[in-house]
Structure formats: structure tokens, C-alpha cells
Amino acid sequence: MPAVPAFGALQAPAHWRTVDFISDLHLGPEEPRTFDAWARYLGRTRADAVIILGDLFEAWVGDDAAVPGSFEARCGQVLDGCQADMAFMRGNRDFLLGHDFLARHRVRELASDPTVLTFGQQRYLLSHGDLLCTDDVAYQQFRAQVRSPQWQQAFLARPLAERQAIARQMRAQSQAHQATQAAYADADAALARQWLRQADATVLIHGHTHRPADHALGPDARGRPLTQVVLSDWHIDARTQRAQVLRLDAQGLTRLPPEAA
């Protein structure tokens, strides 16, 4: 079993009474209705904080792509209009999203995946989720390559137009690959339990697999029930329209459509 990664820590401040989690929106100019739904949600959410657990964007080739008038710049304007505190963890599509863009739009960076959120007296383990999909060996090898500082430095040194062309090519290859697969790789339940035990948490919240569900993982050593909560992806433009917000408050976790959140 893979080694347990080092955990980050996020302490919810006292004024956080309601926290929303979203992931896997895969925003891009090709899906304007998904963008519009996200913009409406961020502009109207009643949550005190919104935590984005990766793949907010379909692709991110560098912060220098957010030039005035670009789709990336429009997304920045939406972030600026959100009144809630925001935090972001990188996913497998937007791992190149940089410190500058996040700081410019007052989004807190969650640099460690996974990260332990302490909310009230409870500890929640947050992840994008791709590290848990250990059966996808080819992807794990690719992930290790592109997350290295050397690879990222070399890629970001390329001209912007070249990076955008590479992203389009990789997106086409990904879509072709997905068309031949029955489903996304799923998270390893034994590894999820190991993470939770190591983090002294009882609830793991993640995205990536596009399989929204709650999974009982059995009890921990103290008899506390362990739960794996998988976030929904957002596809408003798809034939099967799906979008969901996971809300945490004093009553626990609730799944909501964006317009109700």
C-alpha cells in the first residue's frame, strides 16, 4: 500500500458557521452553462466559506493565460465577486494554477493534499481524490512526473500558445481514452481508511471520480464509524445535467443543488 502523504492543516475560524465544498467543475469556454451556474452560485452563496477540491478548470496552462478578456480572467472576476472566504486545492487538471492567481483573487491555497480541516470539534480529511485511485497505475506515474518542479518549470517556460496547444491535444487524448473506459478509476477503500486513521478523522471528503456517494468504511480502532464522501462533478451542458454542493454546518453534511446553496 502506498505511503500515507504528509497532511496539511486548516483550522476553521470562529466565524465559519457554514462551509461549502465543490470540485470537478472542469470550467472551460466550451461549457458556458456550467460557468454561468458556478458564477451564480458563488455570487449568491450563503456559506461563510467555499472550499474547492480541485479540477475547477478543465485545463490550466499557467497564470499568464489570465490576460484581460480571456476566459481565465472572467473566472477571476467571478472569484472576486464572492463574499465568502475561499480555499483551493489543486486537482489533476489545474495543478499548474499558481500562487499569483490565487493571491490576486484572495483565494487561500491548500498546498497539501490531503489536508485536515478542523471545524468545531470535528476533523475532516480533504483531498482531490486522485491519489486514492491506485489501480490507475499509468495515471499515478504521469502524476508523479508532472508534479515534479523540474517538469513544471520546463513546461511553463514554453510560449503560452504552445502550452495552450499542448493542453488541447491532451484534452482530446483524455476524451478519447474516457470513451473507451466503462468508468473512472475508483478510490481504494483500504487506503482511505488508512488515511483517516492517520489523520484521526472520521470523514474523508474528495472528488475526482465523478461518482457522488457516501461510503461506510467501517469503524476505527475506537469504534467510530468512518465515512467516505465523494463530491459531484458539474456538467450543466451535458445530456445528463449534474451539479451539487456539499454543505457542512452544525447539523452535519448536506448535499444541495447550487441554486439552493
Can you give the pLDDT at residue 255? 98
Can you give the pLDDT at residue 5? 84
Beta-carbon contacts of 90 under 8 Å, excluding residues fewer than 6 positions away, are 54, 97, 113, 128
Q: What pTM was computed for the model?
A: 0.94
In this structure, whether the domain defined by 8-260 belongs to CATH 3.40.50.1110 is answered with no
Angle (CA) 73 94 109, round 5°: 80
Letter for the amino acid at 7?
F
Q: Is the peptide bond before 5 cis (omega within 30 degrees of 0)?
A: no
Q: Rounded to whole angstroms, how far apart are CA atoms 229 and 225?
A: 13
Q: Rounded to whole angstroms, how far apart are CA atoms 257 and 20?
A: 12
As beta bridge partners, residue 98 has none
Can you give the pLDDT at residue 79? 98
Instruction: Indicate the domain borders of the chain.
Output: 8-260
Residue 133 CA neighbour count, 13 Å, CB half: 24
Q: Buried b / exposed e across 12-34, counting CB within 10 Å, b at 16+?
A: beeebebbbbbbbbbbbeebeeb
Environment class of 237 (CB within 10 Å of its CB; exposed 0-12, middle 13-18, buried 19+): middle
Taking the C-alpha atoms of 201, 206, 212 and 215 in order, what is their torsion angle to the nearest 10 degrees? -30
As beta bridge partners, residue 8 has 115
| 3-state SS class at 214 | strand
Can you give the pLDDT at residue 232? 97
Can you give the pLDDT at residue 241? 86
For the record, the C-alpha cell of 135 comes out as 489501480
| 3-state SS class at 163 | helix
Decide the pairing of beta strands 19-22 and 49-53: parallel
Can you give the pLDDT at residue 88? 98
Can you give the pLDDT at residue 171? 80
- List, in sequence order, the alpha helices (H) in 53-159: 71-80, 99-104, 137-146, 149-156
Where the chain has pLDDT below 50, the residues are none
Can you give the pLDDT at residue 33? 94
Can you give the pLDDT at residue 184? 65
Can you give the pLDDT at residue 180? 60
